[in-house]
Structure 1
C-alpha cells in the first residue's frame, strides 16, 4: 500500500484533466476535464466512458476507434494534465484541497498544507480512500503514498 502509483496503474476519475493526441493529426487533439459522467467526446468515434480506466486503456480504445475507417496506423497518446486534488484537514496550518502531484507522500502533503499545527499528533494520521466503489480508512505515516481524492485527517495530540 506504500508503493508509489505508477502512471500505468493510475485510474482516471472525475476532476482529472486529460489530453488525447494522435501523432501527425493536430485536428485530433482533445483536452478535456472529466466530469461526473466520465464521458469524453472524441472526433470520428463515439463518446468514451473513461472513469476507472488507465491512460493506456483510453489510448487503445481511441486507437481502435480510429483504426481502418479513418487512419491506417493511428499513434495515440493520452496524458494527465491536471490530477484531481487531495484534501487535508485537522491539525495542519492551512487545511483544504491541494493539487495532486506524482509520487506524493504524506510528509510532502503536510508540507503543502503549511506543516503541522502546534497541537498536532505526530503519529495519529488517517487517510480515507475510495477504490473500486469502496471507501476505507488507513493508518498513515510520513511515507504513506497519497492519491488523488484522498482525505487526510491529522488528529490533535493530547500531550
Structure 2
C-alpha cells in the first residue's frame, strides 16, 4: 500500500511538472516576467480574503491606478511582482496583518501598425507576438508593401529612432510598426 501511494504521488508530481514548467518557461522566453506596466494595461489586483480590495483597473495615461484605502498609486514601469510588494507593504502599514497580494496583467496595452497593411491601426498585444503575426492581425500586406523594409519604434522612442526589423522580430506592447512601400 505504501509503495502504491509513493508511485501515485510520483506520477502526480511528474504531471504537474509537465504542465507547469512549459508555461513558466514561455513567459521567461518572451521577457514578460519583467514586463514593465504602462498606460493602457488592464491589471487585476487580488488580496486574498479581502474582496473589497480585489479590483481590475486600467492604468491611466499618467501610469497610475486608483486603489481603495491607498488612493492613487504611480505604477508605470513597475512589474507585477514589484506592484504586489508595494501594495502588500502599504496595506500592512496599518490596514491589514500580513496581506497576500497578487497582481496579474489581464490585458496588455495595444501595439500599432501602419503603412502598407490592409487594416492599419491599434491591436491588442498577445505574448509571443512577432512582426509577421502583427501583419496577419492587420489582414496582411497591401500589393504595394515592401517585402523587406519594416521598422519598429519601441514604446517611448520617436519615429526617427525606429529600428529595422524582420518578420520574426518580437513585438511588444506600445510598439509602433511601419511597413514601407515598395518602389517596384
**Fold match by TM threshold 0.5:** yes
CA contact (8 A) 2:59 2:65 kept: yes
Deviations 1:89-119 (A, max 9, x none): 1111111111111111111000000011111
Among 102, 105, 114, the residue aligned to 2:139: 114
- Are 1:137 and 2:157 matched, yes or no? no
1:152 Cα deviation after fit: 0.5
Deviations 1:35-74 (A, max 9, x none): 1222212222243101111111110000001125222221
Do the aligned partners of residues 4 and 119 (structure 1) sit closer, same or farther apart at CA in structure 2, a change above 3 Å counting?
Answer: farther
Could you tell me how far apart the structure 1 residues matched to 2:145 and 2:108 are?
28
SS of match in other structure, 1:61? helix
1:6 Cα deviation after fit: 2.4
Match for residue 63 of structure 1? 88
Give unpaired runs (5+ residues) of structure 2.
1-27
Match for residue 98 of structure 1? 123
CA contact (8 A) 1:4 1:145 kept: no
CA contact (8 A) 1:23 1:75 kept: yes
1:137 Cα deviation after fit: 1.0
1:4 Cα deviation after fit: 4.9
**Which 10-residue stretch deviates more, 37-46 or 47-56?**
37-46
Higher relative contact order (CA 8 A, sep 6+): 1
What is the TM-score of this pair, normalised by structure 2?
Answer: 0.78
What is the number of equivalent residue pairs in this alignment?
155
**Which 10-residue stretch deviates more, 45-54 or 98-107?**
45-54
- Look at both structures and tell me which one has the larger radius of gyration over its CA atoms: 2
Greater than 3 Å deviation, 4+ residue runs: none
SS of match in other structure, 1:130? coil
Could you tell me how far apart the structure 2 residues matched to 1:90 and 1:83 are?
23
